[in-house]
Copies of this chain bind each other. A is one copy, B any other.
Amino acid sequence: MDVHEDETLGEGYKLKLNSYDLGVDIELADAIQRIRFEHPEVRAVVVTSLKPRIFCAGANIYMLGTSSHAFKVNFCKFTNETRCAMEDDSQHSGRRYLAALNGTASGGGYELAIACDEIYLVDDGNSAVSLPEVPLLGVLPGTGGLTRLVDKRKVRRDRADVFSTLAEGLKGKRAKDWGLIDDTFPTSKFQESIDERVAQIVNAGNEDEKHGIKLHPLTVGTSPAPTDTRDYEYVSLKFHREKRYVDLTMRGPEADLPASPDEIQKLGDAFWPLQAYRELDDALLHLRVNEPEIGLVCIRTQGSVENVLALDRTLAANRDHWLVREIILLMARTLRRLDLTAKSFFAIVEPGSCFAGNLLELLVASDRSYMLNNPDEPVAIAFSGLNAGAFPMSNGLTRLQSRFLSDPQRVDEVLARTDSLDTEAAEQTGLITFAPDDLDWEDEIRVAIEERTSLSPDALTGMEASLRFAGPETMDTKIYGRLTAWQNWIFQRPNAVGPNGALTNYGKPTQAKFDFRRT
């Protein structure tokens, strides 16, 4: 039994400022994904630093002080999705994350620590945990820091208030008493104590031996304008820049996919759901970070409804196999990434499409759906067992539950439909926003796109974030809905980024000057 020591964190934050290089956060997201697929035998992940005395000192301050507003907000969101992926791994795949803080964990470093299951801090008289964003930078610990403090670790709010305004943070015993860490060990016993805890976790398990698969890099081809596309094997983006929208087409699976875990394992990362959703994930991130002016994504699918349903039956039948479980969890995370993307989504349901089962989630995740109503060119959608709970949203509901909040029993009614639904039947279920006939179809879509992309992008971001997550709130929706909004505000304010702002002046001889009016 191996324990994976994640050495990509060893050098601390090494953030480069290219548009798509989030530095250690990209590496961390990648490392976690690789652990899950390539090292399923790993039971404990120790998040630590190869450079003692600095765990993660939040060197992203430089990034925050110099990068664009959009980059900062995107960075916070992506970083948080990585934190949530660690928690998802812990909750659903039973892997245990240990933050072994062999030095000060400050800002983003401590935020990474509180995404772990357990936090251990070296007691060297010097090392501390801290969230110095408010006192030093005039911004928020916005990658979930504040929410995880009071909601996950349930730190008393008056103590959370003191801690979050104390630049130097807290050490040793007091940090433990306040619940900020789980334990603290002297320098001489630190490594040994962590090793002991890891051994406990590793020895507690008694599972079958598992062998990972290899995740290869995705291949993607691009064509310049006027074609202007980005093509993966199963996902294509076609840009319409002058109109500020993109067509995202996802191609469904073939008919002859493997049906047993052994065959799936042999096929590895070429297995359709794994490859197609990794590609979708990459496409969404590409759109977020590199295509800020694209305001609308028109989602289309191509393929056979029956093939999608057959695949979903295979996945459902083998959910208990570790690889199938990981694949379903990855599909779910990708769909949540879509829910959380600050762009409008319209699902376009045309002849030849296959919005069924897992791909139907794309339609239900969209802000609107348009389905052609033409008896001469029938179109169909269909449900599979996976729509019943395999892909929860951040609020813990399925997308169907969220859709039918006013009429919960309709969820069971539609899930009982094993047939394909034509346009009329689909409309009756409540999944279709508009079903124009073939005479109106092109005009209606064109006008809808034009109208959407003419609206204020800020108002749309706020509106969609407010409408997409009806129903219960969870720690995750708090983090994304509440903290993203606060970050969006605070990162814009002169008190942070103006010539006299705290972020602007950090590390300079000059001091921040605030406009003290509160709102």
Give me the interface of A with B, judged by CB distance under 8 Å: 69-70, 73-74, 133-135, 137-140, 142, 146-147, 149-151, 153-162, 164-165, 179, 244, 292-295, 342-343, 366-369, 402-406, 430, 433, 451-453, 455-468, 470-474, 477-478, 481-483, 485-490, 492-493, 495-496, 502, 512, 514-519
Chain B residues with CB under 8 Å of A156's CB are 403-404, 406, 430
Which residue of B483, B486, B492, B495 is within 8 Å of A456 (Cβ)?
B495
Chain B residues with CB under 8 Å of A133's CB are 459
Which residue of B369, B458, B474 is within 8 Å of A138 (Cβ)?
B458
Q: How far is the CB of A148 from chain B (nearest CB, A)?
A: 10
Which residue of B433, B456, B473 is within 8 Å of A473 (Cβ)?
B473
Whether B478 and A473, one on each chain, are in contact in the complex, defined by CB atoms closer than 8 angstroms, is yes
Whether A459 and B406, one on each chain, are in contact in the complex, defined by CB atoms closer than 8 angstroms, is no
Whether A517 and B467, one on each chain, are in contact in the complex, defined by CB atoms closer than 8 angstroms, is no
Which residue of B451, B453, B465, B467 is within 8 Å of A160 (Cβ)?
B467
Residue of B nearest to A179 (CB): B406
Whether A433 and B293, one on each chain, are in contact in the complex, defined by CB atoms closer than 8 angstroms, is no
Q: How far is the CB of A510 from chain B (nearest CB, A)?
A: 15
Which residue of B154, B159, B367 is within 8 Å of A161 (Cβ)?
B367
Chain B residues with CB under 8 Å of A495's CB are 456-459
Whether B517 and A292, one on each chain, are in contact in the complex, defined by CB atoms closer than 8 angstroms, is yes
Which residue of B69, B462, B470, B492 is within 8 Å of A140 (Cβ)?
B462
Number of copies: 2
Q: How far is the CB of A151 from chain B (nearest CB, A)?
A: 5
Among A73, A134, A468, the most chain B Cβ lie within 10 Å of the Cβ of A134
**Could you give 7 example pairs across A and B, Cβ below 8 Å?**
A70-B517, A138-B459, A160-B467, A457-B519, A458-B489, A458-B490, A492-B492
Whether A456 and B367, one on each chain, are in contact in the complex, defined by CB atoms closer than 8 angstroms, is no
Chain B residues with CB under 8 Å of A405's CB are 150-151, 154
**In the complex with contacts A516-B244, A518-B292, A485-B489 CB distance below 8 A:** yes
Chain B residues with CB under 8 Å of A486's CB are 462, 465-466, 485, 488
Residue of B nearest to A161 (CB): B367
Q: State A482–B161 Cα separation when bound (angstroms).
A: 20
Instruction: Given contact pairs A165-B451, A459-B490, enumerate 9 new A-B contacts (beta carbons under 8 Å).
Output: A134-B459, A156-B404, A158-B369, A159-B433, A294-B518, A343-B518, A458-B518, A465-B482, A485-B485
Whether B467 and A490, one on each chain, are in contact in the complex, defined by CB atoms closer than 8 angstroms, is no
Chain B residues with CB under 8 Å of A179's CB are 406
Residue of B nearest to A514 (CB): B456
Q: State A489–B517 Cα separation when bound (angstroms).
A: 16
Whether B473 and A164, one on each chain, are in contact in the complex, defined by CB atoms closer than 8 angstroms, is no
Whether A457 and B140, one on each chain, are in contact in the complex, defined by CB atoms closer than 8 angstroms, is no
Whether A342 and B518, one on each chain, are in contact in the complex, defined by CB atoms closer than 8 angstroms, is yes
Which residue of B139, B150, B293, B482 is within 8 Å of A517 (Cβ)?
B293
Q: How far is the CB of A514 from chain B (nearest CB, A)?
A: 6
Whether B473 and A477, one on each chain, are in contact in the complex, defined by CB atoms closer than 8 angstroms, is yes
Chain B residues with CB under 8 Å of A69's CB are 519
Whether A466 and B140, one on each chain, are in contact in the complex, defined by CB atoms closer than 8 angstroms, is yes
Whether A463 and B164, one on each chain, are in contact in the complex, defined by CB atoms closer than 8 angstroms, is yes
Q: State A327–B452 Cα separation when bound (angstroms).
A: 48
Whether A164 and B493, one on each chain, are in contact in the complex, defined by CB atoms closer than 8 angstroms, is no
Chain B residues with CB under 8 Å of A139's CB are 456, 459
Q: State A512–B151 Cα separation when bound (angstroms).
A: 41
Residue of B nearest to A492 (CB): B492
Whether B149 and A467, one on each chain, are in contact in the complex, defined by CB atoms closer than 8 angstroms, is yes
Q: State A244–B461 Cα separation when bound (angstroms).
A: 35
The 5 A-B pairs with the shortest beta carbon distances in the complex, nearest first, are: A473-B473, A485-B485, A138-B456, A154-B406, A150-B470
Q: How far is the CB of A285 from chain B (nearest CB, A)?
A: 14
Whether B463 and A134, one on each chain, are in contact in the complex, defined by CB atoms closer than 8 angstroms, is yes
Among A70, A139, A367, A457, the most chain B Cβ lie within 10 Å of the Cβ of A457
Whether A460 and B154, one on each chain, are in contact in the complex, defined by CB atoms closer than 8 angstroms, is no
Q: State A133–B462 Cα separation when bound (angstroms).
A: 12
Q: State A11–B307 Cα separation when bound (angstroms).
A: 62
Whether A165 and B452, one on each chain, are in contact in the complex, defined by CB atoms closer than 8 angstroms, is yes
Q: State A451–B493 Cα separation when bound (angstroms).
A: 21
Chain B residues with CB under 8 Å of A489's CB are 458, 462, 485, 488-489, 492
Chain B residues with CB under 8 Å of A155's CB are 406
Chain B residues with CB under 8 Å of A466's CB are 140, 146-147, 150, 482-483, 486
Residue of B nearest to A363 (CB): B158
Q: State A142–B485 Cα separation when bound (angstroms).
A: 13
Q: State A470–B456 Cα separation when bound (angstroms).
A: 32
**In the complex with contacts A74-B519, A406-B179, A458-B496, A146-B467 CB distance below 8 A:** yes
